[in-house]
Amino acid sequence: MKNISLRKATIEDKALVVDFDYSLDVVEHIELKREEKITKAILCEECFIILVDNREIGFVIFDYRFFDQGWVGLIVIDEEYRGKGIGGKTFDLICKQCKANKVFTSTNSSNIPMQKALTKVGFSFAGKINGLDDGDPELFYYKKTNNRETKS
């Protein structure tokens, strides 16, 4: 396995992060005002660049706004690097750096790669919410980190 690491994004990374997100889904990028959200996340030090052997191949947005637990709000990996275990390794790294004792995230029922990446690295299903995207329920997952006692 190549060396996978995370580094905090700076404002100089904004164009790169916006580009990853734009390439994923132009319509969502525009309609959901993702450029604004990405800028805010970078300024709040909540956006991390995913590196493979020092090459920037994606990003993850991580904060503590979900009931004070770790929350992965968005992860995007460049298409050519998907399905190689990088998503799973990113979740491991997020769990290591998390200062709360659980990390939560969610994804659409239709997103099988995300569900597989999560369950492979030990995330458990937490529940389902209907009504966000019509006909495509949101599935929530979590993993215990047991970090709170030692890190905060």
Ligand X SMILES: CC(C)(COP(=O)(O)OP(=O)(O)OC[C@H]1O[C@@H](n2cnc3c(N)ncnc32)[C@H](O)[C@@H]1OP(=O)(O)O)[C@@H](O)C(=O)NCCC(=O)NCCS
Stretch touching ligand X by CB under 6 A, among 28-36, 70-78, 93-101, 126-134 = 70-78
Stretch touching ligand X by CB under 6 A, among 5-13, 39-47, 69-77, 128-136 = 69-77
Q: Name the minimum Å distance from CB 30 to ligand X.
A: 17
H helix or E strand, kind and range, residue 4: strand 4-8
Nearest to 70 by CA among 44, 91, 39, 43: 91
Is 37 near ligand X (CB under 6 A)? no
Per-residue 3-state assignment (H helix, E strand, C coil) for 31-49:
HCCHHHHHHHHHHCCCEEE
Close Cβ partners of 130 (under 8 Å, ≥ 6 residues apart):
137, 138
Q: Name the minimum Å distance from CB 64 to ligand X.
A: 18
Give the whole-angstrom CA distance, residue 149 versus residue 27: 42
| The one among 55, 113, 133, 151 contacting ligand X by CB under 6 A | 113
Is 50 near ligand X (CB under 6 A)? no
Residue 57 tokens read as 């191949």
Find the length of the chain.
152
Q: Name the minimum Å distance from CB 87 to ligand X.
A: 2
Stretch touching ligand X by CB under 6 A, among 28-36, 110-118, 126-134, 140-148 = 110-118
H helix or E strand, kind and range, residue 15: helix 14-24
Q: Name the minimum Å distance from CB 67 to ligand X.
A: 19
Residue 96 tokens read as 């290591």
Binding stretches for ligand X (CB under 6 A)? 24, 75-77, 82-88, 107, 111-114, 116-117, 120
